[in-house]
Structure 1
Amino acid sequence: MFQDDRNNSPPRLFIIALVLIGFGAFKFFPGLFASKSSDISTSTPTSGASPDAIANRISLGNQLLVTSQTTPDKQAGIEAFKSGDFSTAIQKFQASLKQTRNDPETVIYLNNATARISPALLKIAVSVPIGSNPNVAQEILRGVAQAQSEVNNSGGINGAKLQVEIVNDDNNPAIVKEVANTLTKDPTILAVIGHNASNASLEAAPIYQQEKLVMVTPTSLANNLSGFGSYIFRTVPNISIMAAPLAEYAVKTGKTNIAICYDSQAPDNISFKDEFVAALIAAGGKLVPTVCDFSVPSFTPESAIADAVSKGAQGLMLAPHIDRIDRAISLARTNQGKLPLYGSTTMYTFQTLKDGQKSVDGLVLPVPWHPETNPGSTFPKNAAQLWGGVVNWRTATSFDATQAVIAGLKQSNTREGLQEAFKSPSFSTPGASEKVKFLPTGDRAGKPILVQVKQGGSTGYNFVPLR
């Protein structure tokens, strides 16, 4: 990697001068060296990862990725899986689930181990931010695991059992790029469920499109993904459909002057902000011109609230990156109920409730799915039985993404055939609530539900449908 070219080296004094200049620039102008990546995890590199490093992020059951959900039985199951002893792996994974039933990684590994002793297999991948946002990663994995369990327990896909390869991408665009390149080169992978954050999906989408591998993101809402390519799909509606009802609700309830704090490094929340503003103005509201960006190091909640209040804001809309929810919660705490709070879909997290508590009481935001608005669906009940609790919209849309892939693979178990199935106007399959159907843009056909934070639930607060 490094070359020693002493015959052409510059004079020593010149090198020392360059070092001193560089040190001074770093010390006094650190912003020049700040990463533009929206990933805030310090545990992962911000440049390309080596093949070995990517291999350590991928597992069918041969290594532990979700370290927060670990038992001795799970570790033993992983060791047995690694050595090819799938019967022992099955026993150990089952024993682990008796202790941690809500661990989706173990459910997927158990399904994979069981599938390995069957005569026919089909394989897909799911890429999630385990390192940077383990809660969100597990929400997505639960939807995938539930769909995998249901299809494998009912005979598989035309007799073939479904294997799911888990990938940890940390929502880091540089890592995501390497992940996408790796997955496309594996001919046994027929589709990818992912990615989570829109900046991650936008990094991967060109690679999947070029290499003709179907990507179905269950959570990325950025406008840029709409119509991106013939192999790019998502099981969430277009963000304009998500943002408009929230803006209309604010105006309808008399809050016409709205200030916005968003994340300029999160493409989905840039899109949400733009669509919210357009809908707000169309409904007769007004954007209060404040400067509030969750992504900048200089962000201070005190200044943001003071600025919004001084300029006559009657409400505040929060649109943070999924890995910077803590900054939005900090802003809500500083607000102390002065301004009614509205939020992008990203704000629907366990962290919002657990850390926000009274500060986020009354927060209103749109989601593509809620368990209380689907009385005729078996999904919420089945999910509660499997995981021991209520699941959220990310689990539902991830279930839908996997259900769509399963339905498509029943028509054709090739990459090209799956894509053709998805593009057919007649394609549809039962989902967590409504049927999964794709528009020509690759977006999900659907509509949002407004929810509000109210007292109740395990954290003391809960998201409930706005009646």
Structure 2
Amino acid sequence: MRQKQQSVQVLISLLIAGVAIALIIGILGRLVPRNNNTNADNTTPPIQKPVTPTNPRISLGNKILIGANTTPEKEAGVQAFANGDFETAVEKFEASRQIQRNDPETLIYLNNAKIGASDALKVAVVIPIGDNLDTAQEILRGVAQAQDEINSNGGINGLPLQIEIVNDDGKPNLAKSLASDLVKDPNIVAVIGHGSPGASLVAAPVYNSGELVMITPSFGPSKLSEMGDYIFRGSADLSVSSDALADYIVNKANIRTIAICVDSSIQFQDIRDPYEKAITKAGGKVTKTICDFADPLFDPNTIISTATGDGAKGLLLMPIVNKLGPAKELAKANEGRLGLFTHGGLYTYETLNQGRENFRGMILSAFWHPDADPGNPFFQDATELWGGKVNARTASAYDTTQAVIAGLEEGNTREGLKNALSDPNFSASGASGDFEFSDLRYRKEKPLFLKIDRGSSSGTGFDFVLIP
């Protein structure tokens, strides 16, 4: 009898255990995903979305930052990219390029979509879209061309170059905040930027403390040399261009006395002072004429009269690149009486388009012109890629990206890149010849001199003509 009871108890225990095991298996089946390639309805599972930037000012291809060039195809490409459907993104971005050939944002997104979720070397480019769209796109064209070329040729030691676009609107406070975000992204090995001098100055200390290389693609204030070992300038020091232009004014144009006009709405004293010192060193004299483009009572005719009365034989115009109106009016009032000179920042299409006859004869120093090195393939390649001619800012951005690429070939970490760029023997090939850094981490360059004159290349009726 006892044996029978024991058998029943064993049977009951086994039944309870079986039920418990079944329940556990059922629960686990709900929690653990199926180890196959289909969903319950035997369909292909959704594509895994890549890790894309959530900041609305940062994009790898998942959002449009430059709305001026939007096409339905580009919008569809961005949506596909955000969903991780890179094949469709490539198709749509290519279709958009057929419509907007000169849109650099689309070409960058196209190259990023070709990379997809594969390993890549990630570089951020920070541009001032809201402050100066032309400047932003000119920088992007240089970066995009360099990315397209290196990726088409197998990448950097086998790894493609991925470009992340960042928009700081040229605002220093915003630039500083975005710099902090970029430093925190461990995948970013370098930053090309910022597109405005003020933004560069406040962002540079953030990058340096975060040990992230920053290279300015064009004009960079001399103070950047004091910001640390991770900060480089893709252009020559201001003293190089100021000394060269001063020597030209005094010793070639034979103008011994000149008035300088600046825009006090930004810290332009940092630019005026080197030019004033350079003119004095060259044997010239700067008049005491007060000429401020930001003055609400600015009167071009009064300025010309005052400058002439002060003995000036020339005018050195230093306007903000995207605020050319007062400088144009002053040049118009001048009527050719005083020689006109300006800084290399005005080597832009807008200078020709807005100034036209008023700026005719104005001379500036620059570091690139397509006629200066006719054997260099950059200009022809750029013309074919964008369907039109490019300017010095695009050439400088291209060269800066080439420097990053050459540095990453030597060391593809933040520290490795910094060490490569700091090597006295470092050199990269660019749009204007070899790219080398000085001991103070700015580019070694020899200035050229250009004059605005009649011509047909720009489509405005005026061109920047190289002075032999």
- TM (normalized to structure 1)? 0.85
What is the distance in 2 between the residues matched to 1:263 and 1:226?
24
> Structure 1: which 4+ aligned runs deviate by more than 6 Å?
none
Corresponding residue SS for 2:255: coil
The amino acid of 1:255's aligned partner reads I
Q: Any idea what SS the aligned residue of 2:261 has? A: strand
- 8 A Cα contact 2:348 2:392, kept in partner: no
* Equivalent-residue separation in structure 1 for 2:166 and 2:279 (angstroms): 39
Partner of 1:99: 99
Question: 1:50-449, aligned counterparts within 5 Å?
Answer: 55-116=55-116, 119-251=118-250, 252-267=252-267, 269-449=268-448
Give the whole-Å Cα distance in 2 for the aligned partners of 1:284 and 1:178.
45
Matched-pair contact (CA < 8 Å) for 2:86–2:116: yes
Q: Do 2:219 and 2:345's aligned partners in 1 also have CA atoms closer than 8 Å?
A: no
Alpha-carbon separation, structure 1, partners of 2:292 and 2:447: 26
Q: 1:54 to 1:253 in 2, by over 3 A?
A: farther
Q: Residue deviations 1:7-55, cap 9 Å, x none?
A: xxxxxxxxxxxxxxxxxxxxxxxxxxxxxxxxxxxxxxxxxxxxxx991
Quote the RMSD (CA, aligned, Å). Answer: 1.7
- Indicate the structure whose relative CO is greater, using CA pairs within 8 Å and at least 6 residues apart: 1
The number of residue pairs the alignment matches comes to 413
Per mean C-alpha deviation after superposition, the further-off stretch among 108-117 and 328-337 is 328-337
Q: Please give the secondary structure, in 1, of the residue aligned with 2:302.
A: helix
User: Is 1:228–1:441's contact at 8 Å kept on the other side of the alignment?
Assistant: no
* 1:463 matched to 2:460: no
Evaluate the alpha carbon distance shift between residue 156 and residue 389 of structure 1 in structure 2; reply closer, same or farther with a 3 A threshold: same
> Separation in 1 of the partners of 2:294 and 2:164?
32
Flag the 1:460–1:327 CA change in 2: closer, same or farther, 3 A. same
The answer on whether the counterparts of 1:325 and 1:347 sit within 8 Å (CA) in structure 2 is no
AA aligned to 2:230 is Y
- The code of the aligned residue for 1:111 comes to N
1:250-275 C-alpha deviation (Å, 9 max, x unpaired): 222222110001134545x5344222
Paired amino acid for 2:356: Q
- Give the CA deviation at 1:142: 0.5
CA–CA distance in structure 1, aligned partners of residues 113 and 276 of structure 2: 49
Q: Could you list the per-position Cα deviations for residues 162-188 of structure 1 after superposition, in whole angstroms to 9, with x for gaps in the alignment?
A: 110111111111111111111111111
Q: Which has the larger radius of gyration?
A: 2
For residue 47 of structure 1, what is the aligned residue in structure 2?
A: none
Q: Distance in 1 between matches of 2:298 and 2:141?
A: 34
Separation of aligned partners in 2, 1:304 and 1:226: 36
Q: CA deviation at 1:452?
A: 0.7
Q: Would the aligned equivalents of 1:454 and 1:462 in 2 still touch at CA under 8 Å? A: yes
Structure 2 CA distance, aligned partners of 1:184 and 1:310? 54
1:78, distance to aligned residue in structure 2 (A):
1.1
Q: Which amino acid aligns with 1:97?
A: R
What is the CA–CA distance in structure 2 between the aligned matches of 1:215 and 1:164, rounded to whole Å? 14
Q: Distance in 2 between the 1:87 and 1:208 partners?
A: 35
Amino acid corresponding to residue 215 of structure 1 in structure 2: M
Structure 1 residue 223: deviation in Å?
A: 1.8
Deviation at 1:412, TM superposition (A): 1.6
Calculate the TM-score normalised by the size of structure 2: 0.85
Q: Distance in 1 between matches of 2:110 and 2:301?
A: 49
* Residues 201-234 of structure 1: CA deviation (Å, up to 9, x unaligned): 1011111111111000011232212343100101
**Aligned-pair CA distance for 1:99:** 1.4
Change (3 A) 1:101 1:59: same
Deviation, 1:329, is 2.3
Deviates more, 1:359-368 or 1:224-233: 224-233
Shift of 1:433: 2.2
Aligned 8 A contact 1:363 1:452 in 2:
yes
Q: Which whole-Å CA distance do the structure 1 matches of 2:105 and 2:151 have between them?
A: 16
Measured against aligned partners, the alpha-carbon deviations of 1:270-313 in whole angstroms (never above 9, x if no partner) come to 34422222222222211111112234444443433332122221
Distance across 2 between alignment mates of 1:170 and 1:265: 17
Pairing of 1:32-47 with structure 2 (within 5 A) = none
Relative to 1, partners in 2 of residues 1:415 and 1:298: Cα closer, same or farther, differing over 3 Å? farther
Q: Is the 8 A contact 2:349 2:391 kept in 1?
A: no
List gaps (5 residues or longer) in structure 1.
Answer: 1-52
Query: Which secondary structure state, in structure 2, belongs to the residue aligned with residue 68 of structure 1?
Result: helix
| Rounded Cα–Cα distance in structure 1 between residues aligned with 2:139 and 2:168 | 13
Greater mean deviation of Cα atoms: 248-257 or 53-62: 53-62
> CA 1:155/1:447 → structure 2, altered by over 3 Å: closer, same or farther?
same
Q: C-alpha separation between the residues in 2 aligned to 1:110 and 1:377?
A: 26
- Note if contact 2:59-2:164 (Cα within 8 Å) is conserved in structure 1: yes
SS at match of 1:64: coil
SS in 2 for 1:438: coil
Range with greater deviation from structure 2 (299-308 or 379-388): 299-308
Residues 298 and 171 of structure 1: CA distance in aligned 2, closer, same or farther (over 3 Å)? farther
- CA–CA distance in 2 between the matches of 1:297 and 1:156? 52
